């Protein structure tokens, strides 16, 4: 269990903080972006909580943090489940294989694994073949009952249903409910060869697409393909692929996300030479059936690194729902909010509980103050899981979502980023030139919040240059 949060020095009230001066470089960046000062909420404070805040501006105002909310979910999970926690996906047989044939059903029970990606699905199917099964004279039954989540409209949030970041959580989440299409140009043949992962049963897709005219720039190559993705049983390209792009990959969410796991599992089984006389369908594992084998996920510490480095929404929701599953026996959003809320009140008494919504920050309703988030980050710095949390954060100018950071402080900060249409945010830890380490939270809420990114990067530079 992590240590309790250190005692906090007083933070100025919103009215007092609002009168404070922002660093000149931050003010200048805001003026260039034509953004008002009150678009920002900022708190910069010693990571160990030994001194008064270096800068506090609108720090107590609840704001939408976008994906910075993932810090709350991932730290809560590390603190409650431990860095070594794993998810098991058990596989059951209701008959004994004989002469390569299973006269019965295979049951696969999802328990929330966030990282059942193509490679691990391949291994799971290989282990099924290793049970002595070549043909299943029955069905493959998918038990997804561990999570109870509402029906999901992938277009509801921003009208982009084919973007993988809009995928919904699932007790049996396969490859983030996305298809990866890799284009490899062959100039001599005048085509680009297309590879699809994972293989999806019952889906027709072209093996090649024509190349664009010689000399064509790479440009907006996805638009140039004129992809037709609305039919769940067919992918087509009416356009061309520019050879100048070289090899590129494009991940898309399928048009039928509810049927994705069944298509992917059947497709992988058949690609490995397995035969199936029945279908892949949803159902429940019969009571009393013992697993034939189980496949474990990577450890939570690795999952958290994937979540925070690359801001993976559906993985975060899997972790969020797992907190409820572990406590209540079923993963629901209400249950997850209750679990994290109770944890927050115990760990940070007197601090307003964040409005978590789905735990990933892909939300218009999520809210947290810079002060509350900074207090949590100070507690995390003093905790036993600090190394795992800090290592999961993007490093400025080095990797993850900060690989292309324009700030001067390359390598000086570990920060989670967040961005929505009207939110731009960074929060985490900054190493000062003096040797002091700071917690920094900066969140912009404004219709033109994207323009605040240079001001936030200027703030990182200011924090890092504390000689």
Which tens digit of pLDDT belongs to each residue from 294-329? 999 999 999 999 999 999 999 999 999 999 999 999
Which pLDDT band holds residue 247 (cuts at 50, 70, 90)?
very high
> Average pLDDT of 6-35?
68
CB within 8 A of 151, min separation 6: which ones? none
> Average pLDDT of 428-438?
96
pLDDT at 366: 97
Which pLDDT band holds residue 278 (cuts at 50, 70, 90)?
very high
pLDDT at 157 > cutoff 80: no
> Average pLDDT of 357-373?
97
> Average pLDDT of 432-458?
97
pLDDT at 146: 98
> Average pLDDT of 157-175?
83
pLDDT at 169: 96
pLDDT at 328: 97
pLDDT at 109 > cutoff 60: yes
Which pLDDT band holds residue 2 (cuts at 50, 70, 90)?
very low
> Average pLDDT of 344-352?
96
pLDDT at 293: 98
pLDDT at 14 > cutoff 80: no
> Average pLDDT of 183-194?
97
pLDDT at 102 > cutoff 80: yes
> Average pLDDT of 153-180?
83
Query: Could you give the dihedral angle defined by the CA atoms of residues 19, 24, 26 and 28, in that order, rounded to the nearest 10 degrees?
Result: 110
pLDDT at 21: 86
Q: Is the pTM of this model over 0.85?
A: yes
103-125 burial, b at 16+ Cβ within 10 Å, e below that, comes to ebbbbbbbbbbbbbbbebbbebb
CB within 8 A of 342, min separation 6: which ones? none
Alpha carbons 383 and 135: distance in angstroms, whole number: 51
Query: Could you give the dihedral angle defined by the CA atoms of residues 390, 395, 399 and 401, in that order, rounded to the nearest 10 degrees?
Result: 90
pLDDT at 3 > cutoff 60: no
pLDDT at 98 > cutoff 60: yes
**Of 458, 465, 466, the residue nearest 23 (C-alpha):** 458
Higher pLDDT, 15 or 100: 100
Alpha carbons 345 and 9: distance in angstroms, whole number: 19
Which tens digit of pLDDT belongs to each residue from 133-152? 999 999 999 999 999 998 87
Query: Helices in 147-237 by DSSP H: which ranges?
Result: 221-225
pLDDT at 159: 67
254-272 burial, b at 16+ Cβ within 10 Å, e below that, comes to bbebebbbbbbbbbbbeee
Asked which of 2-16, 156-170, 269-283 is least confident by mean pLDDT, the reply is 2-16
Neighbouring-strand partners of residue 93: 106
pLDDT at 151: 83
Alpha carbons 339 and 287: distance in angstroms, whole number: 28
End-to-end CA distance of the chain: 35
Round the average pLDDT of the chain to a whole number and report it.
93
Percentage of the chain beyond pLDDT 70 is 94
Q: How many C-beta atoms surround the C-beta of residue 253 within 10 A? A: 23
Which strand (E) or helix (H) includes residue 237?
strand 236-237
């Amino acid at each position: 269990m992590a240590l309790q949060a250190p005692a906090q020095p007083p933070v100025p009230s919103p009215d007092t903080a609002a009168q404070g001066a922002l660093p000149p470089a931050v003010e200048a960046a805001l003026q260039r972006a034509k953004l008002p000062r009150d678009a920002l909420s900022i708190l910069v404070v010693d990571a160990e909580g030994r001194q008064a805040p270096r800068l506090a501006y609108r720090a107590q105002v609840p704001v939408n943090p976008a994906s910075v909310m993932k810090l709350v979910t991932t730290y809560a999970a590390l603190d409650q489940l431990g860095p070594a926690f794993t998810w098991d996906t058990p596989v059951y047989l209701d008959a004994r294989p004989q002469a390569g044939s299973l006269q019965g059903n295979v049951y696969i029970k999802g328990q929330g694994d966030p990282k059942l990606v193509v490679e691990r699905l391949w291994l799971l199917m290989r282990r099924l073949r290793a049970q002595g099964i070549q043909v299943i004279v029955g069905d493959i039954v998918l038990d997804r009952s561990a999570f109870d989540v509402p029906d999901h409209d992938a277009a509801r949030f921003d009208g982009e249903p084919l973007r993988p970041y809009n995928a919904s959580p699932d007790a049996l989440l396969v490859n983030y409910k996305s298809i990866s299409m890799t284009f490899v140009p062959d100039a001599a043949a005048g085509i680009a060869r297309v590879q699809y992962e994972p293989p999806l049963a019952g889906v027709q897709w072209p093996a090649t697409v024509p190349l664009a005219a010689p000399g064509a720039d790479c440009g907006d190559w996805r638009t140039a393909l004129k992809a037709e993705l609305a039919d769940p049983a067919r992918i087509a390209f009416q356009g061309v692929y520019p050879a100048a792009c070289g090899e590129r990959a494009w991940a898309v969410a399928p048009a039928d996300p509810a049927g994705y796991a069944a298509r992917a599992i059947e497709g992988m089984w058949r690609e490995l030479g397995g035969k199936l006389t029945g279908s892949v369908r949803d159902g429940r594992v019969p009571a009393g059936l013992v697993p034939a084998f189980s496949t474990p996920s990577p450890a939570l510490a690795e999952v958290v690194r994937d979540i925070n480095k690359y801001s993976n929404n559906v993985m975060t929701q899997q972790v969020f729902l797992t907190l409820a599953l572990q406590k209540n026996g079923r993963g629901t959003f209400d249950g997850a909010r209750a679990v994290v809320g109770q944890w927050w009140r115990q760990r940070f008494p007197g601090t307003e509980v964040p409005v978590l919504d789905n735990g990933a920050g892909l939300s218009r309703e999520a809210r947290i103050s810079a002060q509350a988030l900074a207090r949590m980050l100070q507690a995390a710095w003093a905790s036993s899981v600090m190394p795992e949390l800090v290592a999961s954060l993007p490093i400025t100018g080095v990797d993850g979502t900060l690989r292309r950071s324009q700030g001067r402080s390359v390598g000086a900060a570990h920060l989670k980023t967040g961005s929505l249409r009207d939110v731009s945010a960074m929060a985490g830890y900054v190493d000062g030139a003096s040797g002091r380490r700071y917690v920094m939270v900066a969140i912009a809420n404004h219709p033109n919040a994207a323009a605040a990114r240079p001001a936030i990067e200027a703030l990182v530079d200011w924090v890092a240059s504390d000689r």
